[in-house]
Amino acid sequence: MGDSPVKRAFRFRFYPDDAQATELSKTFGCTRKVYNLALAARNDAWARRERMNYGQTSALLTAWKQSDELFYLTEVSCVPLQQALRHLQSAFTAFWGRRSGYPRFKAKRRHRASAEYTRSAFRYRNGELTLAKMSSPLPIVWSRRLPEGTEPTTVTVSRDSAGRWFASLLCEDIPAPMPATTAAVGIDAGLTALVALSTGEKLSNPRHERGDRERLARAQRALSRKEKGSSNRAKARIRVARIHARIADRRKDHLHKLTTRLVRENQTLVIEDLAVRNMLKNNKLARVISDAAWRELRRMLEYKAAWYGRELVVVDRWFPSSKLCSACGVIATAMPLNVRTWTCEGCGVVHDRDGNAAANLLAAGSAVSACRADGRPPRGPSRQAVRSEAGIPPARVGTRPPKGDGEAKQPRLGVSNAAPPSAMPADTLRTGS
């Protein structure tokens, strides 16, 4: 990306006092209420075969504030409420573009509580952040400094299921350049080894979930014994959530270090377009596949490669990287999951499954990078990668739209280029590549 500024999110933990926590909790509730009301209104419009856009829902918000039942919406800043409507509009745009399913309602206890403030709704001065409707700045733990000369354009405040408060500051910054290099590497994601590189190096899979599995099981059993609705059950739920948060934090930290190293050391990175959603249908491997977080690995590589001017090449998922001999090009007839090394019938070379797959990915990616046979430019970061890095919660999707009376056949709710598990090649559902 060169010297062009990019949007970067800097996430900090903070510890609000009682008044701030009450104000933020009220804002979270009002934001969720507005989102659900707007979604219900758009569902009704759908049933009447009408379209409703952001402008119309914004007019509804004004009417809701004037009603007696929803007058409490005026007690919080209007900016997070408007941002909730914009997020809903983005969710519908993704739905109509067949990039996601139909937006879903947000439940109080099943969704991350968050509120987004734009520049007009907060004050950042002398290292202190003060939100609208608050008289004192948030007590943020500044674990690092913001880049010199940058000012936050958006602030997203959130509270996770473990009760931790975070402030994500979105800034425009020019990333520090990385050392120039001409190296290229093929990256084969797996389970035994998290990634195998075409250089022959294998990076082990830490399996973060397995390390805390017993502790998590004990906490979940203790939670199941608590009476529903009791304060002890609420405390037990937080204990479970904190264990999950600990696992997720360790996983994310490891992936950040790994992807930063790969981007720093290589100009061209080649990965495979894995159908993770289909692979999770394998009940025997679903837990360890989820723990490996291949999709998050790819997301980080996407935006970091775009930031630092590296090239990320994604090879088609049907490319037989594991079964193709990297020496002579002969494709093996069959390769069960338990086969980690194999001998080529054409040239007799003994291959390590993961290393051979990484070498084949590098060869295929180098060819695409050299001639761009598909005619498309190098991939930049995906929309969801940018939103996640900015601290914006993803749109909740997956339910079907409501049907109106006498309505004809509904349009398709989304498309998926992934083949069903029965049609996937044998080497796609592999444990180490």
List residues with catalytic annotation: 188, 272, 354
Tokens 């000012």 belong to 151
DSSP β-ladder status, 193-197 and 202-204: antiparallel
Q: How far apart are CA 193 and CA 353, in angstroms?
A: 11
Burial call 69-105: b when 16+ CB within 10 Å, e when fewer? ebeebeebbbbbbbbbbebbbbbbebbeeeebbbbbe
- Phi and psi, residue 318, nearest 5°: -90, 0
Query: Tokens at residue 104, please?
Result: 């879903």
Q: How far apart are CA 9 and CA 85, in angstroms?
A: 22
Query: Tokens at residue 253, please?
Result: 């930290």
Query: Tokens at residue 28, please?
Result: 């979270």
Residue 196's contacts (CB-CB under 8 Å, 6 or more residues apart) are 187, 188, 190, 202, 203, 352, 354, 355, 357, 358, 432, 433
Burial call 47-60: b when 16+ CB within 10 Å, e when fewer? eeeeebebebbeeb
Name the packing angle between helices 18-47 and 54-66 (round to 10°).
120
User: DSSP label at 352?
Assistant: E
Q: What is the DSSP string of 260-324?
A: HHHHHH-SEEEEE---HHHHTT-TTTHHHHHHHTHHHHHHHHHHHHHHTT-EEEEE-TTS-TTTB
- CA atoms within 13 Å, Cβ hemisphere of 158: 17
Radius of gyration of the CA atoms of the chain, in A: 24
Residue type, 236: A
Sheet of strand 154-159, all strands in order from the earlier edge strand to the far edge: 6-14, 165-173, 154-159, 113-118
User: DSSP label at 431?
Assistant: S
- Phi and psi, residue 168, nearest 5°: -110, 115
Q: Are 130 and 137 in contact (CB under 8 A)?
A: yes
Q: How far apart are CA 392 and CA 384, in angstroms?
A: 9
